[in-house]
């Protein structure tokens, strides 16, 4: 009889206890599995609008050079973004998605026994990355309005806290903390605790009192802002995100960065996005229009809507959102039940799609609910 091979015991306890990240299901997989010709994916907060023609052109051009390694320092991309954001190049670091920058912060800053404060019902990668890294997560509950409870987060900070991650606006709730709330919070945080504000959905925000965190970095050098080209810029498949912070913090993070972490095509595509930043306004507006339409329709169907500043909506139904997700899947609509985020059995997250995709989703819900 052969002995059962099991290497899991070789890994740290936190890794053994972690479940791998579970993404929204890919369109082709669902088509194959259910034999469907048409599938609508509203599950991963992607931009349903494809890449800009200028981005495709830049990728084609860059592709001619892929026999070489990319520029490890991402010089052109750094210069271009620094100019666009009006920051110095040494305040910028790029990652294979902003996900990688989150990881660099946790791995670089936290020693065994130290901790990272974040919210329970926030981007699931914070929980995964901290569990894997010495189980250093110290999650705090959201407030009763599904917003970060910034006071509770500040209260959770102790002498072993190295990092706080605030996702603003928050995934998966779509809620945001205002400038006033954030200012009161940051004033309470010791200067030697790094505060990372994950603004993956920044470009979708329209609220007047949404805080402009980037302009606060000069006064609060312990702030680092994380953004991405995956969302409004439509580059999710290429993986490029960035951090903006004090050069001394960014300089240390660069030491933890893998060489060539942002590939050549991603660098070229991101530069093309920056050169075409004027496209962002239209994208934001179209998202907002569709968001309003979708919210109205879902409310009419009896869902409770959490107001959102992003490109997705957290909704709650009386029943089992897992079952509803499965019923929608049978009709070719992929959405995300939220039990993995601990938001309860009735919670569901729906990303805003193109008008025809949103209509298909509402139509499918009407059929299921009738
Ligand atoms: C809040 C938040 N932060 C970061 C990310 C990761 O983005 P990227 O594609 O840049 O790694 C996501 C992706 O869904 C997100 O929702």
List the domain boundaries for the chain: 24-50+279-369, 53-275
User: How much distance in Å is there from the Cα of 125 to the middle of ligand 1?
Assistant: 9
What is the spatial distance between Cα 311 and Cα 332, in angstroms, rounded to a whole number? Answer: 20
User: How much distance in Å is there from the Cα of 368 to the middle of ligand 1?
Assistant: 31
User: How much distance in Å is there from the Cα of 100 to the middle of ligand 1?
Assistant: 10
What number does the ligand 1 atom closest to the CA of 172 have? 16
What fold characterizes domain 53-275? 3.40.640
User: How much distance in Å is there from the Cα of 229 to the middle of ligand 1?
Assistant: 9
CA angle 284, 289, 292 (to 5 degrees): 120
User: How much distance in Å is there from the Cα of 98 to the middle of ligand 1?
Assistant: 6
CATH number of the domain at 24-50+279-369, please?
Answer: 3.90.1150.10
**Pocket-testing residue among 165, 228, 309, ligand 1, by greatest number of atoms within 8 A of Cβ:** 228
In this structure, which residue's CA is closest to atom 2 in ligand 1?
A: 200
DSSP collapsed to 3 states, the chain: CCCCCCCHHHCCHHHHCCCCCCCCCCHHHHHHHHCCCCCEECCCCCCCCCCCHHHHHHHHHHHCCCCCCCCCCCHHHHHHHHHHHCCCHHHEEEECCHHHHHHHHHHHHCCCCCEEEEECCCCHHHHHHHHHCCCCEEEECECCCCCECHHHHHHHCCCCEEEEEEECCCCCCCCCCCHHHHHHHHHHCCCCCEEEEECCCHHHCCCCCCCCHHHHCCCCCCEEEEEECCCCCCCCCCCCEEEECCHHHHHHHHHHCCCCCCCHHHHHHHHHHHHCCCHHHHHHHHHHHHHHHHHHHHHHCCCEEECCCCCEEEEECCCCHHHHHHHHHHCCEECEECHHHCCCCCEEEEECCCHHHHHHHHHHHHHHHC
User: How much distance in Å is there from the Cα of 305 to the middle of ligand 1?
Assistant: 22
User: How much distance in Å is there from the Cα of 343 to the middle of ligand 1?
Assistant: 19
The confidence score (pLDDT) of residue 4 equals: 87
The confidence score (pLDDT) of residue 2 equals: 62
The confidence score (pLDDT) of residue 118 equals: 98
What number does the ligand 1 atom closest to the CA of 171 have? 1
Identical topology for domains 24-50+279-369 and 53-275: no
The confidence score (pLDDT) of residue 25 equals: 83
The confidence score (pLDDT) of residue 1 equals: 54
**Pocket-testing residue among 200, 241, 242, 273, ligand 1, by greatest number of atoms within 8 A of Cβ:** 200
What number does the ligand 1 atom closest to the CA of 44 have? 14
Q: In the structure, which protein residues have their CB atom closer than 6 angstroms to any atom of ligand 1?
A: 45, 97-99, 123, 167, 171, 198, 200, 228, 230, 236, 241
**Pocket-testing residue among 171, 176, 224, 235, ligand 1, by greatest number of atoms within 8 A of Cβ:** 171
**Pocket-testing residue among 97, 118, 244, ligand 1, by greatest number of atoms within 8 A of Cβ:** 97
Written as tens digits, the pLDDT of the chain (370 aa) is 567 899 999 999 889 988 888 877 889 998 999 999 999 999 999 999 999 999 999 999 999 999 999 999 999 999 999 999 999 999 999 999 999 999 999 999 999 999 999 999 999 999 999 999 999 999 999 999 999 999 999 999 999 999 999 999 999 999 999 999 999 999 999 999 999 999 999 999 999 999 999 999 999 999 999 999 999 999 999 999 999 999 999 999 999 999 999 999 999 999 999 999 999 999 999 999 999 999 999 999 999 999 999 999 999 999 899 999 999 999 999 999 997 677 889 999 999 999 999 999 999 999 999 9
User: How much distance in Å is there from the Cα of 195 to the middle of ligand 1?
Assistant: 17
User: How much distance in Å is there from the Cα of 48 to the middle of ligand 1?
Assistant: 16
In this structure, which residue's CA is closest to atom 16 in ligand 1?
A: 171
Give me the sign of the Cα torsion angle 318, 323, 324, 325: positive
Distances (CA, A) of 191 to 36, 217, 223: 54, 12, 9
């Amino acid at each position: 009889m052969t002995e059962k091979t099991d290497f899991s015991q070789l890994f740290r306890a936190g890794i053994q206890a972690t479940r791998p990240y579970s993404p929204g299901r890919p369109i082709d997989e669902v088509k194959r599995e259910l034999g469907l010709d048409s599938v609508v994916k509203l599950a991963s907060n992607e931009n349903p609008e494809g890449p800009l023609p200028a981005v495709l052109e830049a990728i084609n051009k860059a592709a001619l050079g892929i026999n070489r390694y990319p520029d490890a320092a991402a010089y052109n991309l750094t210069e271009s973004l620094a100019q666009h954001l009006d920051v110095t190049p040494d305040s910028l670091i790029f990652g294979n998605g902003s996900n990688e920058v989150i990881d660099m912060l946790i791995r670089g800053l936290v020693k065994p026994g130290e901790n990272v404060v974040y919210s329970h019902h926030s981007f699931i990668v914070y929980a995964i990355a901290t569990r894997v890294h010495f189980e250093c997560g110290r999650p705090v509950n959201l407030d009763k309005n599904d917003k970060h409870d910034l006071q509770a987060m500040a209260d959770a900070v102790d002498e072993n806290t190295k990092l706080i991650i605030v996702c603003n606006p928050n995934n998966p709730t779509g809620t945001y903390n205002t400038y006033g709330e954030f200012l009161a919070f940051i004033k309470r945080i010791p200067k030697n605790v790094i505060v990372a504000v994950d603004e993956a959905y920044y470009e979708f925000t329209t609220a007047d009192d949404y805080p402009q965190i980037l302009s606060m970095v000069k006064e609060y050098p312990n702030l680092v802002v994380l953004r991405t080209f995956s969302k409004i810029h439509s580059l999710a498949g290429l993986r490029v995100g960035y951090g903006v912070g004090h050069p001394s913090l960014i300089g240390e993070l660069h030491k933890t960065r893998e060489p060539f972490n942002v590939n050549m095509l991603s660098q070229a595509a991101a530069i093309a996005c920056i050169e075409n930043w004027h496209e962002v306004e239209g994208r934001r507006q179209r998202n907002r229009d569709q968001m309003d339409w979708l919210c109205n329709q879902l409310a009419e169907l009896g869902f409770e809507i959490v107001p959102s500043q992003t490109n997705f909506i957290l909704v709650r139904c009386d029943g089992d959102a897992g079952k509803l997700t499965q019923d929608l899947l049978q009709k070719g609509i992929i959405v995300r039940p939220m039990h993995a985020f601990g938001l309860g059995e009735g919670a569901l997250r729906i990303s805003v799609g193109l008008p025809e995709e949103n209509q298909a989703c509402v139509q499918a819900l009407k059929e299921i609910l009738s």
